[in-house]
Amino acid sequence: MADPDPRYPCSSIEDDFNYGSCVASASVHIRMGFLRKVYSILSLQVLLTTVTSSFFLYFESIRTFVHESPALILVFALGSLGLILALTVNRHKHPLNLYLLFGFTLFEALTVAFVVSFYDIYIILQAFILTTAVFLGLTAYTLQSKRDFSKFGAGIM
Protein backbone atom coordinates (compact mmCIF):
# COMPACT_ATOMS: atom_id res chain seq x y z
CA MET A 1 0.00 0.00 0.00
CA ALA A 2 1.30 3.48 -0.88
CA ASP A 3 2.24 5.94 1.82
CA PRO A 4 -0.47 8.50 2.48
CA ASP A 5 0.07 12.00 1.17
CA PRO A 6 1.57 14.03 4.07
CA ARG A 7 -0.50 17.06 3.04
CA TYR A 8 -3.69 15.12 3.81
CA PRO A 9 -3.54 13.28 7.11
CA CYS A 10 -6.20 10.61 7.55
CA SER A 11 -8.29 12.71 9.91
CA SER A 12 -8.24 15.93 7.91
CA ILE A 13 -11.30 17.76 6.65
CA GLU A 14 -9.79 17.87 3.15
CA ASP A 15 -9.65 14.07 3.16
CA ASP A 16 -13.43 13.96 3.58
CA PHE A 17 -13.86 15.63 0.20
CA ASN A 18 -11.59 13.09 -1.52
CA TYR A 19 -14.34 10.48 -1.16
CA GLY A 20 -17.16 12.18 -3.04
CA SER A 21 -18.55 14.45 -0.36
CA CYS A 22 -19.43 17.99 -1.28
CA VAL A 23 -19.49 21.24 0.64
CA ALA A 24 -23.30 21.39 0.60
CA SER A 25 -23.52 18.19 2.64
CA ALA A 26 -20.80 19.23 5.11
CA SER A 27 -21.32 20.77 8.52
CA VAL A 28 -22.09 24.47 8.91
CA HIS A 29 -18.54 25.13 10.16
CA ILE A 30 -17.01 23.67 6.99
CA ARG A 31 -19.49 25.47 4.73
CA MET A 32 -18.73 28.81 6.39
CA GLY A 33 -15.00 28.20 5.96
CA PHE A 34 -15.60 27.42 2.30
CA LEU A 35 -17.62 30.62 1.88
CA ARG A 36 -14.85 32.64 3.53
CA LYS A 37 -12.31 31.22 1.07
CA VAL A 38 -14.57 31.90 -1.91
CA TYR A 39 -15.32 35.45 -0.81
CA SER A 40 -11.64 36.10 -0.12
CA ILE A 41 -10.75 35.08 -3.66
CA LEU A 42 -13.67 37.08 -5.05
CA SER A 43 -12.61 40.15 -3.05
CA LEU A 44 -9.10 39.92 -4.45
CA GLN A 45 -10.53 39.64 -7.97
CA VAL A 46 -12.68 42.75 -7.47
CA LEU A 47 -9.69 44.61 -6.03
CA LEU A 48 -7.49 43.67 -9.01
CA THR A 49 -10.21 44.81 -11.42
CA THR A 50 -10.60 48.10 -9.54
CA VAL A 51 -6.88 48.83 -9.52
CA THR A 52 -6.50 47.95 -13.20
CA SER A 53 -9.48 50.09 -14.17
CA SER A 54 -8.11 52.98 -12.12
CA PHE A 55 -4.84 52.88 -14.05
CA PHE A 56 -6.72 52.93 -17.35
CA LEU A 57 -8.93 55.81 -16.16
CA TYR A 58 -6.43 58.12 -14.50
CA PHE A 59 -3.28 57.76 -16.61
CA GLU A 60 -3.75 59.64 -19.84
CA SER A 61 -0.88 57.84 -21.60
CA ILE A 62 -2.47 54.44 -20.94
CA ARG A 63 -5.89 55.70 -22.01
CA THR A 64 -4.46 57.14 -25.24
CA PHE A 65 -2.62 53.90 -26.02
CA VAL A 66 -5.78 51.86 -25.43
CA HIS A 67 -7.91 54.15 -27.60
CA GLU A 68 -5.38 53.93 -30.42
CA SER A 69 -5.12 50.11 -30.18
CA PRO A 70 -8.61 48.65 -30.56
CA ALA A 71 -7.19 45.17 -31.23
CA LEU A 72 -6.25 44.94 -27.54
CA ILE A 73 -9.81 43.96 -26.65
CA LEU A 74 -9.44 40.93 -28.92
CA VAL A 75 -6.14 40.00 -27.25
CA PHE A 76 -7.71 40.31 -23.80
CA ALA A 77 -10.79 38.30 -24.82
CA LEU A 78 -8.78 35.51 -26.43
CA GLY A 79 -6.42 35.45 -23.45
CA SER A 80 -9.41 35.06 -21.12
CA LEU A 81 -10.82 32.29 -23.28
CA GLY A 82 -7.49 30.44 -23.35
CA LEU A 83 -7.09 30.72 -19.60
CA ILE A 84 -10.64 29.54 -18.88
CA LEU A 85 -9.96 26.47 -21.01
CA ALA A 86 -6.68 25.89 -19.14
CA LEU A 87 -8.57 26.29 -15.85
CA THR A 88 -11.08 23.68 -16.95
CA VAL A 89 -8.34 21.18 -17.76
CA ASN A 90 -6.28 21.90 -14.62
CA ARG A 91 -9.03 22.50 -12.06
CA HIS A 92 -7.69 19.88 -9.63
CA LYS A 93 -3.99 20.79 -9.89
CA HIS A 94 -3.20 23.00 -6.92
CA PRO A 95 -1.51 25.59 -6.95
CA LEU A 96 -1.50 25.74 -10.78
CA ASN A 97 -5.24 26.35 -10.74
CA LEU A 98 -4.75 29.42 -8.52
CA TYR A 99 -2.12 30.85 -10.87
CA LEU A 100 -4.41 30.27 -13.83
CA LEU A 101 -7.28 31.89 -11.93
CA PHE A 102 -5.07 34.91 -11.25
CA GLY A 103 -4.17 35.11 -14.96
CA PHE A 104 -7.83 34.83 -15.95
CA THR A 105 -8.75 37.53 -13.44
CA LEU A 106 -6.01 39.78 -14.81
CA PHE A 107 -7.23 39.35 -18.40
CA GLU A 108 -10.82 40.00 -17.34
CA ALA A 109 -9.69 43.06 -15.38
CA LEU A 110 -7.88 44.32 -18.47
CA THR A 111 -11.03 43.76 -20.54
CA VAL A 112 -13.14 45.71 -18.04
CA ALA A 113 -10.50 48.45 -17.85
CA PHE A 114 -10.43 48.70 -21.65
CA VAL A 115 -14.19 49.26 -21.77
CA VAL A 116 -14.16 51.59 -18.75
CA SER A 117 -11.58 53.85 -20.40
CA PHE A 118 -14.21 54.97 -22.94
CA TYR A 119 -16.69 56.27 -20.33
CA ASP A 120 -16.91 59.32 -18.08
CA ILE A 121 -15.30 58.93 -14.65
CA TYR A 122 -18.50 60.05 -12.88
CA ILE A 123 -20.51 57.19 -14.41
CA ILE A 124 -17.78 54.68 -13.59
CA LEU A 125 -17.56 55.85 -9.97
CA GLN A 126 -21.33 55.65 -9.60
CA ALA A 127 -21.38 52.07 -10.91
CA PHE A 128 -18.38 51.17 -8.75
CA ILE A 129 -19.94 52.53 -5.56
CA LEU A 130 -23.24 50.76 -6.17
CA THR A 131 -21.54 47.47 -7.04
CA THR A 132 -19.24 47.72 -4.02
CA ALA A 133 -22.15 48.43 -1.69
CA VAL A 134 -24.08 45.39 -2.93
CA PHE A 135 -20.98 43.17 -2.84
CA LEU A 136 -20.01 44.22 0.69
CA GLY A 137 -23.59 43.89 1.92
CA LEU A 138 -23.98 40.38 0.53
CA THR A 139 -20.54 39.38 1.79
CA ALA A 140 -21.24 40.63 5.31
CA TYR A 141 -24.62 38.93 5.36
CA THR A 142 -23.21 35.64 4.04
CA LEU A 143 -20.33 35.52 6.51
CA GLN A 144 -22.33 36.60 9.56
CA SER A 145 -25.66 34.94 8.89
CA LYS A 146 -26.73 31.88 10.81
CA ARG A 147 -29.39 31.13 8.19
CA ASP A 148 -28.99 28.10 5.99
CA PHE A 149 -30.11 28.66 2.39
CA SER A 150 -28.98 25.27 1.08
CA LYS A 151 -32.57 23.99 1.11
CA PHE A 152 -33.33 26.39 -1.77
CA GLY A 153 -30.65 24.78 -3.94
CA ALA A 154 -29.78 26.48 -7.20
CA GLY A 155 -33.18 28.20 -7.33
CA ILE A 156 -31.85 31.05 -5.22
CA MET A 157 -29.46 32.05 -7.99
Does residue 77 surpass a pLDDT of 70?
A: yes
Q: What is the pLDDT of residue 1?
A: 46
Enumerate the domain spans of the chain. 34-144
Specify the pTM.
0.74
Does residue 13 surpass a pLDDT of 60?
A: no
Residue 19 has, within 13 A of its CA and on its CB side, a CA count of: 9
Which is higher by pLDDT, 132 or 84?
84
Low-confidence winner among 81-90, 120-129, 132-141 (lowest mean pLDDT): 132-141
Q: What is the largest CA-CA distance in the chain?
A: 64
